[in-house]
Chain A
């Protein structure tokens, strides 16, 4: 692979995600997805010395002990006739030293006996010593490098179990060229989870074949960890990048899912709130409509007040007219009355004259002298009054007829005048009453309008309420629209593209490797005595299928424990073989096998297995296999006594 491969990878992701290379680099950097195309160089880990000491307490008897064992490459064995005499402890302490934390299998009482232990190891040409003291059960110690000139360099010290673990993880991952494997830990009952990193303790456990063989590699089935460790060990280019991209993609998908769910919930909540607001607004509007329009009321008030002014002027004028009309009526009535009175008087006078003129006075009203015939004669002849002897009036007696007619005419005219004046007065009174009525109505209207105007503050509040609700509604709608808009999925697309492109490259890279691996596994499985095995296929999830004797494929989990431990060993050694042949791979070449064949009755098979392993150590100089066995007689047949620590019957290893 070349640098061009990286550029090609980036542009492929950019093309797939329809994003700019800059955007792709930004997203990859953000999620720490780094290209890992440099072919891994195999490193060799070898245990060179195991030493520990302490005090055994058995049935109250304290017995100090000290154990030390120097080892080299190849097959090494610790065996005892009796169980529970500490052969597993040797492997456990190696694991403890490598991992910085004790394996589950280490028995508590045994652990409490140990005061200190030290493990010497070689990684390629570097020699390290892990020295641990357990004064109070808590691990304290240091890691030193043994230099070629015999001096030592302290690489790290630790005072707590945690510090011990962290020190070893950092040291071993770096020196073995391993990378943390990201994988998803799902939350119970959920699609969601979190990304965690499997690191050195998980790798280390894949070196240890204890009494459980459920998995081909390691003891953690989560997150396809066995498969990923397999890819790491095989040394597949892009594998680490692929894991990182996959984890980032999954995490991003989850975050998107959660964001969408939250957005959906928010939106539902906002929609509910929106509906409530809309109802409130409708109610507020209805309330507002119960108020007359302020401007309208004001205009109406002004108009009515002006109207009152005009009406008042008109009413005052009409009142004056009415007073005048009343005066006119009274005057006309008096005139008419006077004429009627006068008319009657004339009629009476006429009657009186008509009556009296026919009479002849009989006495002087003064002296009461009787009027004699001679007096009448003289009056007739000389026009001298028969009573007073004065001259008689000339002509006819007063003629009332002309005056009567004049007076009648005057009376009629006066009557007419009165009628007209009365009509005019009636008219002006009606108009005055109408003006007063209009004034009263206008004043009532003003009172009503004033009452409405006094509700202005209330109306203002209602108006404000409507405006406020409208604003809140608009805000809410905007929020909902904003929430509706799709989130920027560019990052998701880039991560998905990165996962896909990287995975494609990893698959391409691993295809030939897996073919080679399958080939080696079947070869080794046959040598290790897996009966009738014809074909094996391991996949990138570290799931192994085998075909035996023309039967259907069998899964690794369906095989017997004996077959499983053989296939585990076959897989590890196949990795080493492929790695050695191709000059890549990361398996450190150390295998710790605890009690192989303990489930089996056929001793010969175990011996054959050990023999094969022994033979392989010459082919694979970096391979070191440490075996703890409870079957010394088998071990002694297959293992060089110099590489054997044996406790005979009744003996203890330490």
Chain B
């Protein structure tokens, strides 16, 4: 089977590629805007440069491909338009199976335990909006006779996660994040990046209905903690204590006194073509919303029907911390 991983050089894409390479029956094609050479040729992996928004180049790349894993990220238009051109190209080019990486953000601000039948709610910003639109394109692909599966992971962590491991760790180490009480009581819905990759591989192999429906699976570790617990565990593992405790006012002060101004500076720097990558990041308001949101993904379908074997949260945490510390050790040596 020949599998193309769109966005194969991203955080999730790399994990998917790594897992697929272990399969002797699978030939992997990494499709990316900037394909590197490192994996090219080795172990049945080839690379191809594709702009996911360019239907024509996609169509050409899809020749001979049996399945596509869509891990494309980026800004809203890349996500939504990328899915649209993928569907259009796939319909023209032999109708490969699509495994689409969606997100729990498609559930918007809804609270409670949500299974895959919950409605999609476009009320929490551009990311959820784009992902809902992307999912609707993929669903159309199924309706028009293609085979498609959508995966809705929660917050993907593990070694290599810049936003959810390194960024959070930096805030905690700088005492710019804390135990947030009720403001951090939301279930974190953490899922190990390797479990997401595992779900992708399982979705590539599962029997799919040819009735125009698109199976969907929530992905989150069943033992995933709440945000406050994650912050505390990370603090203790990094020896970054004592963990502070903030109330709602203190969190607001951090967001609007620091997070928002830093974001504005970053934008200005971008306009001036300055490199703002190493600048400190502040907490955006959207994150505060997520941390307080009482949303819990029901993952029984992924466990039972897809057969995902979940990595225990404690192991994911330990490996993430190991990655962080290896990174800082490397920096210290340099």
The answer to whether A and B come from one shared complex is: no
